[in-house]
Amino acid sequence: MPLAYLPSPTRGVWHLGPVPVRAYALCILAGIFAAVWLTRRRWAARGRPPVEVEDIAVWAVPFGILGGRLYHVITDPELYFAPGREPVRVLYIWDGGLGIPGAVALGALGAWLGCRRRGIALADFADALAPGLILAQAVGRWGNYFNQELFGSPTGLPWKLLIDPVHRPTDSPGVAFYHPTFLYESLWDLGAMALLLWLDARHRPSRGRLFACYVLAYTTGRAWIEALRIDHANHFLGLRLNDWVSAALFTAALAYLLAARRRTPAHDAGRPEAKRS
């Protein structure tokens, strides 16, 4: 056994009597709480009541979980509906399978509903949320670690991840060490969060611009990380489907930022000044 490697958890589920406590779910919940905490601080700095964040989260979080699951099932339907598969496993979200693009898309719909009830512009809330959202993704990715899933190709690097035999690809059962892509994405997301906080403090982008920067940062990282992953994925013109989705989102966010640059400052006249502590 090599001296330098990352071990995998010995278990991802604990039982409190008959109740299973799953590490994957705990990581998702921890990510949600981290996002709410950071967004509350940023929302208060904008002179808004922090309680509005929880009011909107009540709508955004369930929509986001539903959207993440729908995205996963729609893009990989053969995992559930092919002959010999169990369609009921569509409901087993604790086994993993929450697609971030779908979670963000449907979560945005939930956030819009919550903002509408409070008379808040969705773009303003999205800018306050952006660093917290990518923080949630950084925390939530550790759920894949506990599930021993979504790892990358075999590697001999010192930070290689040991995968138990039961979780290894069927075509390489004798290969024990793989790229820890969950860790790569988590670290990338933390770096992107720091970048967003710096951009907001230095340039104060508004009206959805900071959220667009979040999309650019996330999809850039997802592109190279996706290239390392070897889990099941549908392909189109030689690329994984998630690569095409990332490319489309990157292009849309870049187009939005370029269009926003041509607007006059009057478009931002109504933005409340941030209260910096």
Percentage of residues in the chain with pLDDT exceeding 90? 82
Mean pLDDT of 193-221: 95
**Whether the predicted model's global pTM rises above the 0.95 cut:** no
| pLDDT at residue 1 in the model | 66
Cα-Cα-Cα-Cα torsion 124, 128, 130, 133, nearest 10 degrees, comes to -120
Q: What is the pLDDT of residues 122-136, one digit of tens each?
A: 999 999 999 999 999
Digit-coded pLDDT (tens) for 233-245: 898 888 899 999 9
Alpha helix (H) ranges present in 46-96?
51-75, 78-81
CA dist., res. 164 & res. 142, Å (int)? 17
- For tokens 């989705």, what's the residue? 245
Distance CA 241, CA 113 (A): 29
pLDDT for position 238: 87
